[in-house]
Amino acid sequence: MGLTLAEKILSRKAGREVRAGELVVVEVDQVMVVDSIAGSFFKRLAYLEATPRYPERVSIVIDHVAPAANLEVAKAQKEIREWGRKHGIRVFDVGRGVCHQVLMEEGLAQPGWIVVGSDSHSTTYGAVGAFGTGMGATDIALAAASGRTWLRVPESVKVTFRGKLPRGVTAKDAALEMVRLLTAEGATYMAVEIHLAEGAESLSRGERMTLANLTVEAGAKAGLLVPSGEILDLYRVPDWLYPDPDARYVREVEVDLSTLTPRVSVPFYVDNVQEVSAVRGKRVDQVFIGTCTNGRLEDLRAAAEVLRGRKVAPGVRLLVIPASSQVLEEAARDGTLLTLLEAGATLGTPGCGPCMGRHMGVLAPGEVCVSTSNRNFRGRMGAPDAEIYLASPRVAAASAVAGYIATPEDLAPLQEEAHA
Footprint of another protein on this chain (CB under 8 A)? 23, 25, 35-40, 44, 47-49, 65, 69-70, 72-73, 76, 117-120, 122, 134-139, 141-142, 145-146, 148, 150, 184-185, 188-189, 219, 221, 269, 356-358, 362, 375, 377-380, 382, 384
**Minimum CB separation from another protein for residue 136, in Å?**
3
- Of 9 and 304, nearer to another protein (C-beta) is 9
Question: Can you point out the beta strands (E) in 189-338?
Answer: 191-197, 222-225, 251-256, 263-265, 273-275, 286-290, 317-321
Residue 337: enclosing H or E segment and its boundaries? helix 336-343
**Minimum CB separation from another protein for residue 300, in Å?**
24
Q: What is the C-alpha separation between 275 and 307, in angstroms, rounded?
A: 22
**DSSP-based three-state secondary structure for 142:** helix
**Minimum CB separation from another protein for residue 414, in Å?**
39
- Of 380 and 394, nearer to another protein (C-beta) is 380
**Minimum CB separation from another protein for residue 64, in Å?**
8
Closest by CA to 223, choosing from 210, 213, 238, is 213
Cβ proximity of 381 and 361 under 8 Å: yes
Q: What is the C-alpha separation between 150 and 230, in angstroms, rounded?
A: 32
- Of 230 and 385, nearer to another protein (C-beta) is 385
**Minimum CB separation from another protein for residue 72, in Å?**
6
- Of 371 and 407, nearer to another protein (C-beta) is 371
Q: What is the C-alpha separation between 420 and 147, in angstroms, rounded?
A: 63
Radius of gyration of the chain (CA): 21
Read off φ and ψ for residue 396, nearest 5 degrees.
-60, -45
Where b means 16+ CB within 10 Å and e means fewer, 95-126 reads: ebbbbbbbbbbbebbbbbbbbbbbbbbbbbbb
- Of 70 and 202, nearer to another protein (C-beta) is 70
- Of 50 and 197, nearer to another protein (C-beta) is 50
**Minimum CB separation from another protein for residue 131, in Å?**
14
**Minimum CB separation from another protein for residue 170, in Å?**
24
Task: Report which DSSP code applies to 257.
Answer: G
**Minimum CB separation from another protein for residue 321, in Å?**
16
**Minimum CB separation from another protein for residue 235, in Å?**
26
- Of 70 and 261, nearer to another protein (C-beta) is 70
- Of 102 and 337, nearer to another protein (C-beta) is 102
Read off φ and ψ for residue 33, nearest 5 degrees.
-120, 130
- Of 189 and 240, nearer to another protein (C-beta) is 189
Q: What is the C-alpha separation between 330 and 334, in angstroms, rounded?
A: 6
Position 320, amino acid:
V
* Beta carbons within 10 angstroms of residue 357's beta carbon: 18
Cβ proximity of 262 and 245 under 8 Å: no
Residue 6: enclosing H or E segment and its boundaries? helix 5-14
**Minimum CB separation from another protein for residue 21, in Å?**
12
Closest by CA to 63, choosing from 44, 91, 84, 87, is 91
- Of 65 and 345, nearer to another protein (C-beta) is 65
